[in-house]
C-alpha cells in the first residue's frame, strides 16, 4: 500500500501500481476533464504514471479556478501540440527531418529540415493535425537505452547529435509515441491527441540549427493552442489588435520617434514625441516631490575602479560599453546605482535625515545584441527613473510600502493594473546569508502589509539583493515588467555607507533601488500600444486643432488659438482649402482629441463647434468656458475627457 496526500491535506491509501489517471477518477468530474498531468512529490508526471512510494499528489491544469493560466499546464499542453504538429508534418512530408520543438512565450515552434513551407502548406498541416486530434491517439511514454535511441533515429542526424549528448550508454532515454510517430522528449504530455482541440499555426521563419549561421538553415513553424476555442478566438483577436497597436508603426504615423542605422538601438525622439516625454517626466517630478524625494544627477562615464567596487565589472562587463580616458579604463554606466552611492557618501549623515530618498532619471547604455532590439521595448540607450532610498533596518517595511503605493498612484493614472512578484536569492549573489534573510523578509512583510496577492520567483533576484517586480497589464491584457523594488545591504557594505545613530556610533545603512516607469523609453512604448495612439488629453502632443470652414475665418481661428495657447493648451490651425469633413478625417487619423470648427456663426457668436475623438459633437460652445473645462481636465491628468 502507498499513502497519497492531496493538496487539501487529506490522505488516502492505495494499492501499489495504481496510476494517476485511476486516482483521478475519484475526483470531481470537472477536474478529471481539465487534468493534463500531475505533480507527484513536486515532480511533473504523465497521468499514466504509477507512484510506488508515499507521495504528495497535485493535478496540473491549463488554468486555475480564477481562469489564470498555470505555466506548467500551459507548457505541457503546448509542447503536446508541438508534437501533434510534428506528427502531421511527418505524415504529409515523410522526408522532413525534425529537430527541436520547444514551448516559447508566444506559443510553441518546431524547427524542421525541409524546403521552405508556404501558407498553403500550413493550411494542409493544420488540417492533418485536426485529423490526428479526431483519432484520439494515446500518447505513451517509453524508456529506451541510448543504443536503442541511436538505432530508432539513425536517419535523423539532428536527433543523433542530441542523443550523443545525453549521458552514458547505460542510462535510459525517454521517448513519446503517438501511433507511428515517435519523438525524443522528457515530457510529460497530455494523455491523448483528442485533448488538443483548439490551435492555430501562426507564422513561419528561418532558423539555423543550434542558432549557428555556420549550420544549415531550417524551417521554423510557430503555433499557439488552448483547451477552449473561445480562448483561441480571443487570443487571435488580440494578436490582430496588437498588430494595429504596434508602437513602431504608430510612432511613425504620429511622428513621435524614429530609428536609424547610424545608431542601432538608439531612439531619436521627434518634437511630438518629446511632448509626451516631457509630460511623463513632469508628472514623475511632481509626484516624487510630493512623496519626499530629492533629485540628483550623476555622470554618464565613470572609472573602471568604481564598477569593480560595485560588482558590476564582474557580473555585467559583457553588457557594458568601455573606453579609455587618459590611459585609464572607463565605462559608460549601465546603471545609475554606483553614482548614487558616491553622492550619499560625499558627506556624513545622521539618523534624523533618514529615510533619504534620492531620484535620478539617468541615461544608461547596455550592449544588447542586435537580434533582440525591438523598437522602444529593447534599446541600447535608455533613461531609468531610478531612485535610491537610504534608511535604517527598522524603516524597511514602511519604505517599501511607500514605493508600492506611489507605483499604484502612477499606474492608475494611465488606467493600468499590475501584478506583483517577489524574486529571491540567485546563484552567484553577493552578501551574507543574514543580509539576504533580513532583506527578503523585509520585502515579504511589506507585500503582506500591502494586501495585494503576490507570486514568489525562487532564485530570480538581483545579484545584490531580493526584489519585487511590478508587471503592469495593458488594454489587451498583456503584461509588461516595468517597476521594480530591490532591497540591498550588499552595495552599502561595499561602499561603506553609514549613518550616525542616536547612540553617536556609525551604523550600516540599508538601501532600496527602485524604478516605476522602468525606463522612460519602454514605458512610452507600452503607453503607445495601451492607448493605441489615442492618448489622454494631458499627454496628447496636439490637444486641439482648429479647422476653418474657409480661409476667410483664419483671423478668428488665430484669435481662438491665442486664447488656448495663453491657457497652456497645445493647439494648431488647419486652414487648408480642404472641406471640413476632410479636415476632420485628417485630425481623426492623427488622433487629435479635440477638433474645433470655426465659421461665420462661430465668429459672430464668439463660439466654436466641437467634435471629440470619441465622436461627441456640440455646437455653440463658448470659447472661454470651454477653455476652463479643458484646463481642469489637463491639470488633473484625467484619463477621459468629458464635456459636462
List b or e across 80-103, with b for residues whose CB sees 16 or more CB atoms inside 10 angstroms.
bbbbbbbbbbbbebeebbbbbbeb
pLDDT digits (tens, 9 = 90+) for 230-273: 999 999 998 888 889 999 999 999 999 999 999 999 999 999 99
User: If pLDDT is split at 50, 70 and 90, which confidence band does 167 have?
Assistant: low
- What pLDDT was estimated at residue 323? 92
Identify the band that residue 610 occupies on the pLDDT scale cut at 50, 70 and 90.
very high
Q: Which residues pair with 295 in a beta bridge?
A: 359
pLDDT over 90, % of the chain: 77
Alpha-carbon span 72 to 340, nearest angstrom: 40
Across 99-119, average pLDDT: 94
The SS3 of residue 492 is helix
Edge-to-edge strand list for the sheet holding 467-473:
293-295, 356-365, 381-391, 510-515, 479-488, 467-473, 417-423, 454-457
Taking the C-alpha atoms of residue 71 and residue 451, their distance in angstroms, rounded to an integer, is 24
Length of the chain: 644
Topology of the domain comprising 71-235: 3.30.980
Three-state DSSP string of 176-244: EEECCEEEECCCCCCCEHHHCCEEEEEEEEEEEHHHCCCCCEEEEEEEEEECCHHHHHHHHHHHHHHHH
% pLDDT > 70, the chain? 99
CATH of domain 2-31+38-56: 3.10.20.30
Output the pLDDT for position 109: 96
CA dist., res. 176 & res. 139, Å (int) = 7
Label each residue of 337-398 as H, E or C.
HHHHHHHHHCCCCEHHHCCEEEEEEEEEECCCCHHHCECCCECCEEEEEEEEEEECHHHHHH
Fold of 257-298+334-530: BirA Bifunctional Protein; domain 2 (3.30.930)
- What's the angle, vertex CA 471, arms to CA 469 and CA 476, rounded to 5? 175
Matching fold, domains 71-235 and 257-298+334-530: no
Given a cut of 80, whether residue 111 has pLDDT beyond it is: yes
Q: Which three cell numbers stand for residue 520?
A: 522612460
* pLDDT attached to residue 478: 86
- Domain edges within the chain: 2-31+38-56, 71-235, 257-298+334-530, 544-635
User: What is the torsional sign of CA 121, 122, 128, 132?
Assistant: positive
**For residue 491, pLDDT beyond 90:** no
Confidence of residue 105 (pLDDT cuts 50, 70, 90): confident
> Does this model's pTM top 0.85?
no
Residues 61-65: contacts with CB under 8 Å, at least 24 apart: 61/31, 61/34, 61/35, 61/36, 62/34, 62/36, 62/226, 62/227
CB contact at 8 A, 201 and 126 = yes
Which residue numbers are catalytic?
337, 366, 384, 386, 388, 467, 513
Question: Strand 544-548 relative to strand 594-598: parallel, antiparallel, unpaired?
Answer: parallel
Question: What is the predicted pLDDT for the residue at 170?
Answer: 60
Residue-wise pLDDT for 61-101, tens only, equals: 998 877 778 899 999 999 999 999 999 999 999 999 999 99
Which own/partner pairs from 598-605 qualify as long-range (CB within 8 Å, at least 24 positions apart)? 598/546, 598/547, 598/548, 598/549, 598/553, 598/556, 598/557, 598/560, 599/548, 599/549, 599/550, 599/553, 600/549, 600/553, 602/553, 602/556, 603/553, 603/556
Confidence of residue 438 (pLDDT cuts 50, 70, 90): confident
If you average pLDDT over residues 146-162, what whole number do you get?
93
Which of 50-59, 211-220, 433-442, 535-544 has the weakest average pLDDT?
433-442
Mean pLDDT of the region 423-451: 87
Residues 6+ apart with CB under 8 A from 457: 421, 422, 423, 424, 469
User: Are the C-beta atoms of 53 and 65 separated by less than 8 Å?
Assistant: no
Share of the chain residues as helix, strand and coil, in percent rounded to the nearest 5: 40, 30, 35
Q: Is the pLDDT of residue 444 over 70?
A: yes
Q: Tell me: the pLDDT tens digits for 367-384? A: 988 878 899 999 999 999
Confidence of residue 591 (pLDDT cuts 50, 70, 90): very high
CA distances from 51 to 4, 25, 38, 57, 421 (A): 9, 16, 11, 10, 33
Question: What's the whole-number average pLDDT of the chain?
Answer: 92
Give 297's contacts (C-beta < 8 A, 6+ positions apart): 360, 362
Of residues 506 and 105, more confidently modeled: 506
Cis peptide before 233 (omega within 30 of 0): no
Cell, residue 11: 490522505
Q: From CA 525, how far away is CA 248, in angstroms rounded?
A: 8
The band of 192, judged by pLDDT with boundaries at 50, 70 and 90, is: very high
CATH number for the domain formed by residue range(s) 544-635:
3.40.50.800
Amino acid at each position: 500500500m502507498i499513502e497519497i496526500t492531496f493538496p487539501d491535506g487529506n490522505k488516502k491509501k492505495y494499492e501499489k501500481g495504481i496510476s494517476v489517471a485511476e486516482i483521478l477518477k475519484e475526483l470531481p468530474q470537472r477536474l478529471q476533464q481539465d487534468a493534463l498531468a500531475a505533480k507527484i512529490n513536486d515532480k511533473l508526471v504523465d497521468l499514466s504514471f504509477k507512484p510506488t512510494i508515499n507521495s504528495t499528489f497535485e493535478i496540473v491544469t491549463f488554468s486555475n479556478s480564477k481562469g489564470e493560466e498555470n505555466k506548467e499546464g500551459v507548457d505541457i499542453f503546448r509542447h503536446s501540440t508541438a508534437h501533434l504538429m510534428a506528427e502531421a508534418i511527418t505524415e504529409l512530408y515523410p522526408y522532413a527531418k525534425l529537430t527541436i520543438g520547444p514551448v516559447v512565450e508566444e506559443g510553441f515552434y518546431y524547427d524542421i529540415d525541409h524546403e521552405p513551407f508556404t501558407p498553403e502548406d500550413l493550411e494542409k498541416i493544420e488540417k492533418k493535425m485536426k485529423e490526428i486530434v479526431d483519432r484520439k491517439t494515446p500518447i505513451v511514454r517509453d524508456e529506451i537505452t541510448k543504443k536503442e535511441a541511436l538505432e530508432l533515429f539513425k536517419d535523423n542526424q539532428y536527433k543523433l547529435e542530441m542523443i550523443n549528448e545525453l549521458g552514458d550508454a547505460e542510462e535510459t532515454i525517454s521517448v513519446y509515441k503517438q501511433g507511428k510517430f515517435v519523438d525524443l522528449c522528457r515530457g510529460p504530455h497530455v494523455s491523448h491527441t483528442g485533448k488538443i482541440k483548439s490551435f492555430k499555426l501562426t507564422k513561419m521563419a528561418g532558423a539555423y540549427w543550434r542558432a549557428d549561421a555556420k549550420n544549415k538553415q531550417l524551417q521554423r513553424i510557430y503555433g499557439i493552442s488552448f483547451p477552449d476555442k473561445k480562448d483561441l478566438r480571443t487570443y487571435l483577436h488580440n494578436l490582430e489588435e496588437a498588430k494595429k497597436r504596434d508602437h513602431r508603426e504608430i510612432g511613425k504615423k504620429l511622428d513621435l520617434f524614429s530609428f536609424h542605422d547610424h545608431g542601432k538601438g538608439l531612439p531619436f525622439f521627434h518634437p511630438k514625441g518629446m511632448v509626451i516625454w516631457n509630460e511623463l517626466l513632469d508628472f514623475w517630478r511632481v509626484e516624487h516631490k510630493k512623496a519626499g524625494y530629492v533629485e540628483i544627477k550623476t555622470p554618464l562615464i565613470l572609472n573602471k575602479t568604481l564598477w569593480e567596487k560595485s560588482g558590476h565589472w564582474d557580473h555585467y562587463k559583457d553588457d557594458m560599453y568601455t573606453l579609455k580616458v587618459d590611459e585609464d579604463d572607463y565605462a559608460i554606466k549601465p546603471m545609475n546605482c554606483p553614482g548614487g552611492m558616491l553622492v550619499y557618501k560625499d558627506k556624513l549623515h545622521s539618523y534624523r535625515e533618514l529615510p533619504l530618498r534620492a531620484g535620478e532619471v539617468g541615461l544608461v547604455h547596455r550592449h544588447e545584441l542586435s537580434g533582440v532590439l525591438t523598437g522602444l521595448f529593447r534599446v541600447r540607450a535608455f533613461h531609468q527613473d531610478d531612485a535610491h532610498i537610504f534608511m535604517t533596518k527598522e524603516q524597511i517595511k514602511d519604505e517599501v510600502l511607500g514605493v508600492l503605493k506611489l507605483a499604484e498612484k502612477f499606474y492608475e493614472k494611465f488606467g493600468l493594473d499590475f501584478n506583483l512578484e517577489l524574486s529571491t536569492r540567485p546563484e552567484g549573489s553577493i552578501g551574507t546569508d543574514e543580509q539576504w534573510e533580513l532583506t527578503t523578509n523585509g520585502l515579504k512583510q511589506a507585500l503582506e502589509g500591502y494586501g495585494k496577492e503576490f507570486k514568489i520567483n525562487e532564485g530570480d533576484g538581483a545579484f545584490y539583493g531580493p526584489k519585487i517586480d511590478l508587471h503592469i497589464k495593458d488594454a489587451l491584457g498583456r503584461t509588461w515588467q516595468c517597476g521594480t523594488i530591490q532591497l540591498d545591504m550588499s552595495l552599502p557594505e561595499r561602499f561603506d555607507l553609514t549613518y550616525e545613530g542616536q547612540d553617536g556610533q556609525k551604523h550600516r545603512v540599508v538601501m532600496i533601488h527602485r524604478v516605476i516607469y522602468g525606463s522612460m523609453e519602454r514605458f512610452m512604448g507600452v503607453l503607445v500600444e495601451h492607448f493605441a495612439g489615442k492618448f489622454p488629453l494631458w499627454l496628447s502632443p496636439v490637444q486641439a486643432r482648429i479647422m476653418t470652414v474657409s480661409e476667410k475665418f483664419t483671423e478668428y481661428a488665430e484669435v481662438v488659438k491665442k486664447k488656448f495657447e495663453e491657457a497652456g493648451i497645445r493647439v494648431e490651425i488647419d486652414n487648408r482649402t480642404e472641406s471640413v469633413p476632410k479636415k476632420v478625417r485628417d485630425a481623426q487619423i492623427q488622433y487629435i482629441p479635440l477638433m474645433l470648427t470655426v465659421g461665420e456663426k462661430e465668429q459672430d457668436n464668439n463660439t466654436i463647434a466641437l467634435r471629440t475623438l470619441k465622436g461627441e459633437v456640440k455646437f455653440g460652445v463658448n470659447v472661454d468656458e470651454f477653455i476652463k473645462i479643458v484646463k481642469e481636465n489637463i491639470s488633473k491628468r484625467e484619463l477621459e475627457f468629458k464635456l459636462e
